[in-house]
Amino acid sequence: MNDNRKLIGYIFEFGWILPSVAIPFAVITAIIITAFAVGIRVPSVAGRIEPQALNTTAPFNEPGVKELAPGKYEAVFVAQTWQFTPNQIEIPAGSDVTFIATSRDVIHGFKIVGTPVNMMVVPGQISKLTAHFPKPGIYLLECHEYCGMLHHMMFAKVIVK
């Protein structure tokens, strides 16, 4: 009788240990698959800048799109209360675009819907992320961090032709 209780105890203990090992393993596997198979990349901090010096410091003194090489573009954005500058960019389909962004005032979000582009835009920090745009379309760039009363109006467009 005592041996049966021990056996039942071992079975219940194994029943709790197995999920506590399997669940973290499954989560780590999903993260690895997402990172490599789906193409999600972590944005990098490309440097620091004084928010008061944005108007006189390259590349933020001339926000917009620049062609670096055939099929390679750089898009510089400045976020400030309730707007992105520029509020619209155009690139050809099949292009790789490196987004460089910073904020003039408060923390903003930088998400291009339907793409893996998703960054935090922090005052004094330069955020950088590269994405590929294979298909033509109009992609909405939206702020996903609450930045004040008109946050819901803060968006821009990425037009892929």
76 in the same domain as 140? yes
Mean pLDDT of 94-105: 94
Strand order in the sheet with 108-112: 88-91, 155-160, 137-142, 108-112, 118-121
Structure-token pair, residue 45: 């901090």
98 in the same domain as 85? yes
1 in the same domain as 50? no
148 in the same domain as 134? yes
79 in the same domain as 16? no
Q: What is the pLDDT of residue 30?
A: 86
107 in the same domain as 32? no
30 in the same domain as 51? no
Q: What is the pLDDT of residue 79?
A: 94
Q: Is the pLDDT of residue 160 over 60?
A: yes
Q: Is the pLDDT of residue 1 over 70?
A: no
- Total domain count, the chain: 2
Q: pLDDT grade, residue 8 (50/70/90)?
A: confident
Q: What is the pLDDT of residue 7?
A: 80
Mean pLDDT of 7-14: 80
Mean pLDDT of 120-129: 92
Structural domain boundaries enclosing 26 = 1-40
